[in-house]
């Protein structure tokens, strides 16, 4: 006769034993209970037999047959990839330029003497060049025959002031008129 078995194995305990987990109470019970030991042995035999069942392959043409019936809705992958690449290039360029400019400012702030020593001749040269270019352009324009009237007008400020005043007034009136026009509600506007 077996030792008294207060509780036979629960299903969870049986699962645990079959899964290889050791539960002290369950193991102790199984050791002394013939019924549960037999059940564990038989269940283990069943589980082992099930585990031996091999997976079965479908016939060789299975995948192509499935693929022939599948509709692949491809989004415009190429366009997306290109767009992403273009954006990435712009972003990388912007980052590099920003980094270079910021780095330049930081360097100049930390080395003011060297920065000025380098910048002064360069700035002077650039300023000189720009001023000479501007003078040349202005002189060239005013030398043209169709600027005779303008030259005459600027030569006599008494005549230039009312003309410029009239032009400024006309411009201001045009601005006011345009603003009022834009403030009007437009029926069925579709912008």
Out of 3, 11, 155, 189, the only residue in the binding site for other proteins (CB under 8 A) is 11
What does the per-residue mask of binding to other proteins show for 40-59, with x meaning CB under 8 A?
--xx-xxx-xxxxxxxxxxx
What is d(CA 138, CA 132) in angstroms, rounded to the nearest whole number? 10
Residues that bind other proteins (rule: CB under 8 A) add up to a total of: 34
Query: Cα Rg for the chain, rounded, in angstroms?
Result: 46
If DSSP states are collapsed to H, E and C, what string results for 105-137?
Answer: HHHHHHCHHHHHHHHHHHHHHHHHHHHHHHHHH
Quick check: 67 binds other proteins (CB under 8 A)? yes
Q: Torsion over CA of 102, 107, 109 and 110, rounded to 10 degrees?
A: 140
Rank residues 68 and 176 by Cβ distance to other proteins and give the closer one. Answer: 68
Out of 62, 105, 118, 147, the only residue in the binding site for other proteins (CB under 8 A) is 62
Tokens of 30: 């199984």
The minimum distance between CB 46 and other proteins, in angstroms, equals 5
- Residues in 68-87 that interact with other proteins by CB under 8 A: 69-75, 77
CB-based contact 32:3 (threshold 8 Å): yes
Tell me which residues touch other proteins (CB under 8 A). Answer: 11-12, 14-15, 39, 42-43, 45-47, 49-59, 62-63, 65-67, 69-75, 77
């Amino acid at each position: 006769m077996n030792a008294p078995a207060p509780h036979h194995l629960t299903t969870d305990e049986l699962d645990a034993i079959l899964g290889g987990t050791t539960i002290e109470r369950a193991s102790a019970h199984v050791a002394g209970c013939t019924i549960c030991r037999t059940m564990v042995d038989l269940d283990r035999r069943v589980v082992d037999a099930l585990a031996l069942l091999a997976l079965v392959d479908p016939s060789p043409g299975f995948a192509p047959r499935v693929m022939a019936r599948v509709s692949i809705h491809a989004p415009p992958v190429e366009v997306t990839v290109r767009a992403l690449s273009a954006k990435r290039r712009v972003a990388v360029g912007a980052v590099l330029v920003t980094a270079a400019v910021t780095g330049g400012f930081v360097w100049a702030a930390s080395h003011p003497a060297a920065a000025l020593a380098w910048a002064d001749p360069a700035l002077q040269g650039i300023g000189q060049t720009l001023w000479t270019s501007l003078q040349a352009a202005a002189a060239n324009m005013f030398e043209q025959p169709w600027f005779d009237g303008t030259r005459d007008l600027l030569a006599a400020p008494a005549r230039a002031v009312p003309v410029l005043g009239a032009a400024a007034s006309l411009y201001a009136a045009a601005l006011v008129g345009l603003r009022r026009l834009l403030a009007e509600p437009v029926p069925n506007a579709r912008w």
